[in-house]
Chain A
Amino acid sequence: MQTIGTNTVVKMIAAAAARIRANEKDLSALDSATGDGDHGTTICRVMDAAETAAKGDTSGKITELLNKVGWDVMSVDGGSTSPLLGSFFIGLSEGAGSSAELDAKATAAMFEAGVAGLRQQTKAQPGDKTMIDALVPAVEALRAAANGGADVTAALRQAADAATRGAQATKEMVAKFGRARNLGDRTRGHADPGATSISHIFTAFAEAVGS
């Protein structure tokens, strides 16, 4: 059975950071449409901090590595992005528990704990045009695939596809949270930059595990 350990987790985070860096300008441009135009810069700093923390891990334990990633992300001055993603990684750390290797079902459980951690920081619900709209369907797809017997790579691929669809669906939504909320109906037609970042992160996770 395919499992992931600390080395793979480090690869996943590094791949996500690289993919975010490659899309920095596009993400900022997306944010200019509905916010203040800095999402690309901020998510880059957040993912750079995550990558540095992950690569600097000496514990060799998934839970400790992710806890360090979470607190280092939380310590970035990044508006709401850092408390949200910091809480997500701390949630992943709690979800990973003491396991050294995670199979597809354990990976799903880890990501469910990540979502729960992030959702402690915001009242945003699916449909409110936030990162929740990519994250929640991604983790639901991950769980469904894992329960259906998929291996980690296949399950994460399902999650990435669901995140991408979720991010695209935010185009038709009207923002109810964050700075974009004040724009009301004018947010329609633009994908949410946070949700788009989540889709990039999950796509990179799937590619890193698959390779």
Chain B
Amino acid sequence: MVMKKFINDPKNLTPELLEGFALAYSDKVALKNEKLVCRARPKDPSKVALVTLGGAGHEPALSGFVGEGMLDISVVGDIFAAPAAPKVFDALKLTNRPAGTLLVVLNHAGDVMSSNIAMQMATKAGLNVKSILTHEDIAPGANAPAENRRGLVGCIPLYKIAGAAAEAGKSLDEVLALAERFNNNMATLAVALTTATHPASGQSIFALADDEMEIGMGQHGEAGTGRSKMKSADETAAIMVTQLLEAVKAKAGDKVLVIINGAGATTLMEQFIIMRGVGKVLAQKGIVLARARVGEFLTVQEMGGFQMFVAKMDDELLKYWDAPCDTPYMTVR
């Protein structure tokens, strides 16, 4: 099948999309060194900075969440590919401050290698930096070793909570501890219906039969393990949310945050019907839907499907989730 996308030279996808993004949101973000998306109004240097890294092609993630109350810098790689370690180090030098910087890393091989090398460079240069790895995918099993579990959409609420704590003037250790608590209480499962095209190579990134769906699909279209015949929204929602609630050990009376994250081609209509299905299961189990978001946060081009995210919340986590933020793709007033 021929790729049908509005692009120019496939080699320039990332710089061109970032240029347009910065143009659209010039009140919130500014581009430095071509691939560092920074806050337009830098945070008070007495507060902890938050930096993340990752490939492009997942818009609005990750750079859509740079701004007051969330990220200070998003280091962008290329389509589905991690940025180079020296660029991550550049970002850590830009945010360098006595209060320190927290580097949020999603568990994908390239991101982990680049961040490890950048952290070594930062330590050698005497920068005050700590890092946290998100790995909330439960496709390989909720008890699989952390290194086998991918970082999916959960990084975004984590930016929100850690970012709010940083804005509140918490120390690097306090921000890290809070982020770790959230990290340890969150889980994501993805489901795919239709494939996406890699916008640089023009190749389809996986194949599913017309009547099939696959639970556990990664956010680069890496195949998952639970392929089945197509199911209804309610059945799909129930299968996924049940596994997620088990993974975070949620029981009656617990409060949860739920995010339905569209992969790119799945309509908001479908996402809301899935959300309704999640609500029914929560009600049956007596679990409180404390907060929810439905929409596209981290996409995979035109892939059909969604990621379902659940986190068990306490009052402090909810306080930071509700704190103000002002970024291109998440605003709380």
A7 to chain B, nearest CB (A): 28
For the A-B complex, the count of residue pairs with Cβ-Cβ distances under 8 Å equals: 117
Given contacts A79-B109, A179-B218, A182-B140, contact A41 B201 (CB under 8 A): yes
CA–CA, A204 and B222, complex, Å:
31
CA–CA, A74 and B140, complex, Å:
30
Indicate which residue in B79, B83, B117, B150 contacts A38 across the interface (CB closer than 8 Å). B79
| A84 sits at the interface (CB 8 A) | yes
Partner-binding segment picked from B84-92, B254-262, B286-294, B312-320: B84-92
Contacts of A81 in B (CB 8 A): 81, 110
Indicate which residue in A78, A178, A184, A186 contacts B84 across the interface (CB closer than 8 Å). A78
CB contacts under 8 Å to B, within A153-171, are none
CA–CA, A40 and B201, complex, Å:
8
Contacts of A40 in B (CB 8 A): 201
CA–CA, A32 and B1, complex, Å:
14
Name the CB-closest residue of A to B206: A32
Indicate which residue in A28, A34, A75, A121 contacts B87 across the interface (CB closer than 8 Å). A75
Is there an interface contact between B198 and A37, defined as CB atoms closer than 8 Å? Answer: yes
Is there an interface contact between B77 and A77, defined as CB atoms closer than 8 Å? Answer: yes
Is there an interface contact between A38 and B80, defined as CB atoms closer than 8 Å? Answer: yes
Is there an interface contact between A29 and B203, defined as CB atoms closer than 8 Å? Answer: yes
CA–CA, A84 and B114, complex, Å:
10
CB contacts under 8 Å to A, within B37-88, are 55, 76-87
Contacts of A45 in B (CB 8 A): 78
Contacts of B78 in A (CB 8 A): 42, 45, 77-79
| B113 sits at the interface (CB 8 A) | yes
Given contacts A77-B35, A182-B150, contact A37 B110 (CB under 8 A): no
| B325 sits at the interface (CB 8 A) | no
CA–CA, A180 and B206, complex, Å:
12
B144 to chain A, nearest CB (A): 11
| B184 sits at the interface (CB 8 A) | no
| B200 sits at the interface (CB 8 A) | yes
Is there an interface contact between B108 and A38, defined as CB atoms closer than 8 Å? Answer: no
Name the CB-closest residue of B to A181: B148
Is there an interface contact between B139 and A32, defined as CB atoms closer than 8 Å? Answer: no
Name the CB-closest residue of B to A29: B203
Contacts of A77 in B (CB 8 A): 14, 35, 55, 76-78, 81-84, 87
Total interface residues on B, CB under 8 Å, equals 41
Q: Is the interface of B mostly helix, strand, loop or mixed?
A: loop
Is there an interface contact between A79 and B117, defined as CB atoms closer than 8 Å? Answer: no
Given contacts A38-B81, A80-B82, A183-B222, contact A32 B109 (CB under 8 A): no
| B224 sits at the interface (CB 8 A) | yes
Contacts of A180 in B (CB 8 A): 222
B265 to chain A, nearest CB (A): 17
Is there an interface contact between B222 and A179, defined as CB atoms closer than 8 Å? Answer: yes
| B204 sits at the interface (CB 8 A) | yes
A113 to chain B, nearest CB (A): 18
| B216 sits at the interface (CB 8 A) | yes
| B26 sits at the interface (CB 8 A) | no
A96 to chain B, nearest CB (A): 21
Given contacts A28-B201, A38-B198, A178-B109, contact A78 B117 (CB under 8 A): no
B56 to chain A, nearest CB (A): 9
Name the CB-closest residue of A to B110: A79
Name the CB-closest residue of B to A176: B148
The CB with the most chain B CB atoms within 10 A, among A41, A42, A45, A75, is that of A41
Indicate which residue in B109, B223, B225 contacts A80 across the interface (CB closer than 8 Å). B109
Contacts of A186 in B (CB 8 A): 223
| A76 sits at the interface (CB 8 A) | yes
| B220 sits at the interface (CB 8 A) | yes
| B221 sits at the interface (CB 8 A) | yes
CA–CA, A71 and B80, complex, Å:
21
| B205 sits at the interface (CB 8 A) | yes
Name the CB-closest residue of A to B222: A179
Is there an interface contact between B81 and A42, defined as CB atoms closer than 8 Å? Answer: yes
Is there an interface contact between A41 and B200, defined as CB atoms closer than 8 Å? Answer: yes
Indicate which residue in B80, B84, B205 contacts A76 across the interface (CB closer than 8 Å). B84
24 A-B contact pairs sorted by A residue (CB < 8 Å): A32-B203, A32-B205, A35-B222, A36-B80, A36-B220, A37-B198, A38-B198, A40-B201, A41-B200, A41-B201, A71-B86, A79-B77, A79-B81, A79-B109, A121-B117, A177-B109, A178-B109, A179-B108, A182-B140, A182-B216, A182-B222, A182-B224, A183-B223, A183-B225
Known: A36-B221, A79-B80, A181-B148; 14 extra A-B contacts, CB below 8 A, are A36-B222, A74-B117, A77-B35, A78-B77, A78-B84, A79-B55, A79-B78, A83-B113, A121-B117, A122-B109, A182-B225, A183-B225, A184-B225, A186-B223
